[in-house]
């Protein structure tokens, strides 16, 4: 059942039960899908459950309303049955799931001013650079946060164009649509597109990112796309979704849903993406 839910691309898996149910869900997971346990079982030691069933509904409402919330890995725990029978209660770690957590903003984002935003950009750039995998082709888009990543890498990147990076080296600057498609086809390893919303309307694809044509994004999909943005920028959207305008209506709808947005150093939120 979990594999089937993953296959259709659900945004979040809700399950009711206790630690045994959490273990069953975890054993069926293959990808990093957001999960949330509704506590109804006898054993609730895992960190994947909401405090109450009512608080789980509040999280779901928050998602449906397009509000910001962070998520992180939480432990899947269960008691050691052998030791339990011997009169000792000890827990065993079975793995980790991605689960929602508090959406409160970090203090440095709340502080107004240029310095705060610059610090956020540096944090995002540091995390993205340190997370880069060997032999993965990175296509880094336009915008100030993407430029911060390029600067952190120490490459001569372009502010308004898409640059291709392999093993922290610039292999194509301000690449054209044809050049990007050729690079993707020639590369035998993984490819990751890094983009940030452009303009005050939160346009993620299209308009300010014209070079990333529908053929490029259709080939990569959102699964191979990493969105970066400050929480302050997302907050200015006031709950409105990030917008996609690839010029292909069916592709716009296919890409709609929820995406992971890197908002700081090892910080991320889940945010809605919708067709324009």
- Are 81 and 216 part of one and the same domain? no
**Residue after which a domain boundary falls, among 68, 101, 134:** 101
Give the Cα-Cα-Cα angle 172, 201, 144 (nearest 5 degrees). 35
Give residue 55's domain range.
2-101
- Are 45 and 165 part of one and the same domain? no
CB 207 within 8 A of CB 245: yes
Q: How many domains does the chain have?
A: 2
- Are 162 and 191 part of one and the same domain? yes
- Are 193 and 62 part of one and the same domain? no
- Are 128 and 40 part of one and the same domain? no
Average pLDDT, the chain: 83
- Are 245 and 263 part of one and the same domain? yes
- Are 256 and 136 part of one and the same domain? yes
Instruction: Report the sign of the C-alpha dihedral through residues 14, 17, 23, 28, in that order.
Output: negative
Nearest to 267 by CA among 76, 128, 171: 128
Q: What is the DSSP string of 147-187?
A: HHHHHHHT----SSS-EEEETTEEEESS--HHHHHHHHHH-
pLDDT of 7-54, one tens digit each?
888 888 999 998 899 999 999 988 778 899 998 877 777 888 887 788
Q: What is the pTM of this model?
A: 0.67
In DSSP terms, 242 is beta-bridged to 273
- Are 81 and 123 part of one and the same domain? no
- Are 257 and 129 part of one and the same domain? yes
Residue keyed to tokens 């659900």: 10
Residue keyed to tokens 């090892």: 266
**Residue after which a domain boundary falls, among 76, 101, 126:** 101
Question: What percent of the chain has pLDDT above 70?
Answer: 87
Proportion of the chain in helix, strand, coil states, percent, rounded to 5 = 35, 30, 35
Which CA distances in Å does 247 have to 119, 139, 218, 219?
35, 20, 12, 15
- Are 242 and 180 part of one and the same domain? yes
Q: Burial level of 8, CB count in 10 A (0-12/13-18/19+)?
A: exposed
Q: What does DSSP assign to residue 209?
A: B
Strand pairing report for 169-172 and 163-166 = antiparallel
Distant-in-sequence, close-in-space partners of 101: CB < 8 Å, separation ≥ 6: 69, 70, 71, 72, 74
Domain of 35, CATH number, reads 3.40.50
**Residue after which a domain boundary falls, among 55, 75, 101:** 101
- Are 57 and 192 part of one and the same domain? no
- Are 82 and 211 part of one and the same domain? no
pLDDT of 104-158, one tens digit each?
322 233 333 343 677 889 899 999 999 999 999 999 998 889 999 999 999 999 8
pLDDT of 153-193, one tens digit each?
999 998 888 999 999 999 999 998 899 999 999 999 999 99
């Amino acid at each position: 059942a979990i594999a089937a839910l993953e296959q259709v691309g659900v945004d979040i898996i809700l399950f009711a039960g206790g630690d045994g149910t959490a273990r069953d869900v975890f054993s069926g997971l293959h990808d990093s899908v957001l999960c949330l346990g509704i506590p109804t079982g006898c054993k609730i030691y895992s960190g994947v459950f909401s405090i109450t069933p009512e608080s789980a509904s509040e999280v779901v409402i928050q998602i449906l309303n397009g509000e910001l919330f962070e998520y992180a890995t939480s432990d899947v725990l269960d008691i050691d049955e052998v030791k339990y029978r011997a009169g000792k209660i000890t827990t065993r770690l079975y793995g980790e799931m991605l689960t929602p957590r508090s959406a409160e903003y970090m203090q440095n984002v709340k502080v107004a001013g240029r310095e705060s935003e610059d610090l956020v950009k540096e944090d995002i750039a540091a995390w993205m650079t340190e997370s880069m995998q060997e032999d993965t082709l990175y296509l880094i888009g336009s915008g100030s946060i993407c430029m911060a990543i390029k600067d952190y890498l120490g490459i001569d990147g372009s502010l308004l164009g898409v640059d291709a990076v392999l093993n922290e080296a610039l292999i194509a600057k301000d690449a054209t649509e044809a050049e990007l498609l050729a690079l993707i086809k020639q590369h035998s390893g993984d490819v990751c597109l890094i983009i940030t919303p452009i303009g005050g309307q939160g346009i993620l694809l299209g308009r300010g990112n014209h070079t990333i044509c529908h053929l490029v994004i259709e080939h990569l999909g959102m699964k191979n796309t990493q969105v970066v943005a400050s929480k302050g920028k997302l907050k200015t959207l006031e709950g409105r979704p990030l917008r996609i305008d690839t010029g292909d209506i069916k592709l716009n709808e296919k890409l709609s849903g929820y995406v992971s947005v890197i908002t700081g150093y090892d910080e991320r939120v889940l945010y809605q993406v919708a067709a324009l």
